[in-house]
Amino acid sequence: MAELSFGRAFAKGLSEEMARDPNIVVLGTDILMRGGHFGQVAGLGEQFGPTRVIDTPISEAGLVSLGMGAALLGLRPIVDLNFQDFMLGAMDELINQVAKWSYMSDGRLRVPLVIRASDGAAHGAGPQHSQSLEGWIASTPGLRVVVPSTPADVTGLLKTVLRQDDPVLFFMHKMLSAIKGEVPDEDVVIPLGQAAVRRAGDDVTIIAYGIMTSYALQAADSLAIEGISADVIDLRTLSPLDVQTVVTSVKRTSRAVVVHQAPTFGGFGGELTSIIQEQAFDYLDAPVVRVGARHTPVPVASILQEAVIPNVSDIVQAVKSIC
């Protein structure tokens, strides 16, 4: 079992899958030699050459269209958009075309396309490079949304999405790029729609995904000192969503806090809260609490960014408000 960073875990999984399946190709800007903005495909250009790791012009609409066409014709492309924010330049292609082809063809045409992008706030990245748009995409029928929080999950979930036939958005938080964790040497795949219970507890359920999973675990450590035991659930995928794991936990703990870095208003936490209210209302001893960013663009200045983005203390205070 090797200890790898988030980015190297992605490269490991992709390299193994490209060796297994010659139909997998990678499309993006600055990927052949540079290996991507975050080093997520570093070394693959040398390993597989320019016919499978393909540099493209800077056009998100063109990239997604190219990926869709390649997928429809039998390849399994990964389109690397670098930043999640950049997918907004390809929304018609993504929402009206990629997400709809299987439905419109009654399943006769499939689009096994994976779109990788780095999301979330980073120091000084500014309003146009710091967004968390996963909830918006997850609400679109026909798209799968994956948000890993550990290097092992990056590799395991990547292998899964490259072996299925639906279009997938694979979001990796920028601030997780350098974190390291153990990644199995063997071929491990993680099913979509299977959350992970990262910590067991009895007093409250904290539901998170992506970078906020580590924040939730830190909050749980702090709460444990004060005698509050938290169940921490890492969703891992938003579509499909593991409703059963969430509801089962909440029925046992009777309290829930939903956490994400996206703005609270209109965020994915609203959907989770509704599901909990609908399926576990009689078990709740307190209202479901949401923790998210303020409803404002992410500032450049660090001190302002800290005022906008939720932190560990926010999660702790949310839990204490209902425990």
Determine whether 173 is an active site residue.
Answer: no
Active-site entry in 129, 173, 260, 295: 129
* 254, HSE (Cβ side, Cα atoms, 13 Å): 9
User: What is the amino acid identity at position 310?
Assistant: P
Residue type, 182: E
49 contacts: CB under 8 Å, gap ≥ 6: none
Write phi, then psi, for 156 (nearest 5 degrees): -65, -40
Beta bridge partners of 207: 233, 258
Look at strands 144-146 and 168-173 and give their pairing. parallel
Burial degree of 282 (CB within 10 A; 0-12, 13-18, 19+): exposed
Q: Is 228 helix (H, G, I), strand (E, B) or coil?
A: coil
Catalytic residue numbers? 129
